Amino acid sequence: MGEELARLSKGKVQLEIYPNQQLGNEREILELLQIGTLDMTKVSVATLENFAPKTRVLGLPYLFKNRTHAFNVLDGPIGQELLDDGTKYWLKGLGFYDAGYRSFYTMEKPIMEPSDLKGLKVRVMESVTAINMVRGMGGSPTPISWGELYTSLQQGVVDAAENNPPSFYLARHYEVCKFYSLNEHTFSPDVLVAGTRFWETLTKEEQQWLQKAAQKSIEYQRELWAEAEAEALKKVQEAGVTISYPDKEPFAESCKEVYQLYEQDSILKRIIKEIKELEP
């Protein structure tokens, strides 16, 4: 994205990147965007839902049939509506990155059906949707920050967690958790977000450069993600992790109450209906 932005602007606009929570965690960074101290960030939609309420629909379990369905939604009018929802909260969404499917990993046993979660403390993101989902499946949701999770697993603060394959691998959680059950309950994208205070300081031309560079990075990131996912699964297996492929239907069935809860909101009910209508 930085290279593309420099090319489009002929070097006038530069992107400076601060990785690994150097400037704070996701929630803190979004707050810094709102007040204009920082310009842009990439966050999980699960964090963004605490700021832009419509986006919480994307955390619903088994919302998408497959990746094609997900990208048709995210790259179309529904995705744009969700990105625009942040604007009134001083957050301008620029697009969605692939963050893969989230699945359960555990220390003691594979999760083959929802009843296997009973009695387990499961780390979740600070997301009401994720908390409701794990509770619906029978587990005890425990919000813990990503940076503290490895130690929390080691010390038995939680018994399990859920995430995508590259995160499971790169955070080295496979050293503690030797069972990875690919039930793929949520397809929870990352979101590229700019602060509106920063966005409004740009000229129309600069905004176009930034949006084009963002779009280019989204296309490239999705290619890289597919490679990273395959590599991660290969590496954790080599490290002794047992990968299981449970039947997804019982998990989806256990989450029906979460949908009923969300469909009490007329706006979310409409968005869910529109997403379902785009199923291939």
Q: How far, rounded to the nearest angstrom, does the alpha carbon of residue 188 sit from its chain's CA centroid?
A: 4
The span from the CA of 108 to the CA of 117, in Å, is: 11
Supply the pLDDT for residue 127.
Answer: 86
Distances in whole angstroms, Cα of residue 94 to Cα of each of 57, 166, 211:
18, 23, 7
Predicted TM-score (pTM) of this structure: 0.91
pLDDT tens for each residue of 63-121? 999 999 999 999 999 999 999 999 999 999 999 999 999 999 999 999 999 999 999 99
CA distance 104 to 83: 28
- Around Cβ 171, how many Cβ atoms within 10 Å? 17
pLDDT tens for residues 117-127?
999 999 998 88
pLDDT at 147: 87
- Write the DSSP symbol of residue 53: G
pLDDT per residue as tens digits for the range 135-159? 999 999 999 988 899 999 999 999 9
- d(CA 187, CA 100) in angstroms, rounded, equals 6
- Local structure of 122: helix, strand or coil: strand
CATH superfamily, region 2-98+187-233: Bacterial extracellular solute-binding protein, family 7 (3.40.190.170)
Contact 180, 243 (CB under 8 A): yes
Tokens of residue 179, six digits: 């069972």
Provide the token pair at 91: 């957050």
The CATH class given to the 101-185+240-272 domain equals alpha beta
234-271 pLDDT, tens digit per residue, is 999 999 999 999 999 999 999 999 999 999 999 999 99
The pLDDT of residue 21 is above 90? no
- Give the integer Cα–Cα distance in Å for 189 and 197: 24
Contact (CB, 8 A) for 222 and 96: no
Location of each CATH 3.40.190.170 domain in the chain: 2-98+187-233, 101-185+240-272
